[in-house]
Structure 1
Amino acid sequence: MRSAAAGPHCEQGLYALALTGRGDDAVGRPEKPIPDPVNPLGILAVSLRNGRRDAGFSYAVLSERTRSISPGTLQRAASGAVLPRLEVAQAFARACGMDVAEVTRLWHAAYQGSLGGRAAGRARKPEPRPDLVNDLSGLCAALEELRQANGAPSFRMMERRARDAGKDLSRSTAFRISRGTAPASTDGLEAFLVACQVPPRERTVWFDAWLRAQRQVVRARQDADGREDLKQIEAVVSDTSRGQVSQEAAVRMLRKAGFDAMERYRRFDAPWTVECLQCAATLRIRLSDVVLARASCPDCPMLTEHVREAWAELLTNPSGLLSRQLVRALRAVTVLPARLQRDHLGVPVFVADRATLRILQSSAWHAALEEVLRRHIRRPFYLDVLLVHDYDTMAAPRNGQRLRRLAKAAGLVDSPLESSPRVQGQGRVNSSASNEAVSGREAATASGSARTAATAPVSWKPTSNSGA
């Protein structure tokens, strides 16, 4: 043991002995000089030698205190020629009463400086980045990098560390994880992290990486199942012997769904540039979504909403040019969903009685409607006002009943509801309003026949109602 008279000068002498290699162990053999005492590996060796000499232990006594490490292994750890395993350096420090955290820091510096005991000329491996992990292979690669950064402990040592912490990690499991088999659960992942001496506060990022990788596996499985399902669906609707949809059949399906093709059809599940027949918006959809009734135009509801807002504003007579009679007639009708095809905006209006029809056949209110539409629809269009009516069941019973059934199928209501007005910003519009008088037996339209206006798609529903 060191005498009580030992002081700072004696410690400096011990450091000098460690550098020159003139210090002796308990059996009188001098230790070899440290090859390079100023590099990180040499600094670690100097620290271990000084700690042993301060404690006054021989390597044999030190081996007894560590209980599991041989004297030769301990002596090589302080030789400065090879990098010891991290657990050896930590056991050396604990047996000598040294600062284990400081020795651990010196070991990591030595590991980075010697690249894990490999030649210094080789490229340095990157630090493990669990925050960049997206799949299971990346997770396994990051875990192996973590193991290497921890000193590449043996799988037996990892098993012992996990067992000491109350975790279950066999040598074979640790080996499979390091070779690319991802942990099956978070418990297995935590056991591996414990074996790599990852502090609890640093394990959360690894758990997040494991969850991301598992979600990616689920998505890949779902995508594979979805592709198989789409193949079966395409085989059902296909018109060729190969079980695929032809160009002509694809265009027919597309037009039936309310779209027009802007490019050639490529594949059942490939994006396809189309144009909405309702509002002329351009979008990309898949034929598989069309077949499964999952394709819809996002602009059509916006157009309907804009027309509804414009009609609600029209009922407030903002310009003051509409007579009371016209305002009452406008409040008594129901506006159907508008249709913007190319640059023609068709606004169908359902009229429930003959008197209202006679009032609205005048085009005096078209300019006011155009003015409010200009503030809500910000794209050029020509305005077509379409009057659809259903009243003449006495003069033409069969035709009147048919129009009534069509009106009900379009979702018309018996008593319109009041709408609240809302005004938006100005927009530039080119409009041309036209309206033709119709006889008492046929429906009135501004740019088409009563047959065309009354046979609106059954999916139409009234978008703006105004009560008297």
Structure 2
Amino acid sequence: MGRPERPLDPNGGPVASFAQSLRELRQQAGNPKYLQMARMTGRSRTALSEAAGGEHFPSWETTEAFVKACGGELSDWHRAWEQTRESLKEGPSVEYNQPLATNINSQFTSDTFHHYQDRSQILEQFASRLREVRLHAGEPPLRKLERLDSRLKRATVANVLNGKTAPTLDFVVWFICACTTIAQQRDLSLADEQQDLELWRQRWIGQQRQLREHRRRSSSGRTIS
């Protein structure tokens, strides 16, 4: 079991606040291990860990890898990264009496947050990763997947891959195992992160959390109105 991350100073300025926001994003994604994130993105585990350490402001390349690994919205995070960078150039100001993380999170609780949490986007984000695995397995026809595993009904697979339906965890396992088998039969190789079932379980948990949050916010919005 890895060591817990050291607490961040809530008044530690924009770097600490940005790091806190990254930590929250990782938590929403199910707290994937930094080693898993490194394998997914090609960025070093040390760089990813230091990005959320709060001592140094990370490069955009490292931030991008961190956000991708946790399923975040890159355009929103790029704006937040640029805002933090500009703030560091300008030096301390009164607004840093409150953590910059509050400012970033406010973006995710306004229209930007609803955009990020839109159900169709949550489903599409997960579906795109499944489609990528199928592509690297030689893009087998849906009927071949069904023949290999009768539980992978063509209609269900199509709906999941098109981002219309949220898959069950069992479906994800069946799908990844089927694609891995087909890739081996075709002498193709999937990346470690594409066939890592534990990593897929974490991704699925992250999607379920996002969907629950979306439902909660949608329900709150209807109540308020």
Q: TM-score, normalised by structure 2?
A: 0.37
Q: When you count strand as a share of all residues, which structure comes out higher?
A: 1
Q: Which protein is bigger by CA-based radius of gyration?
A: 1
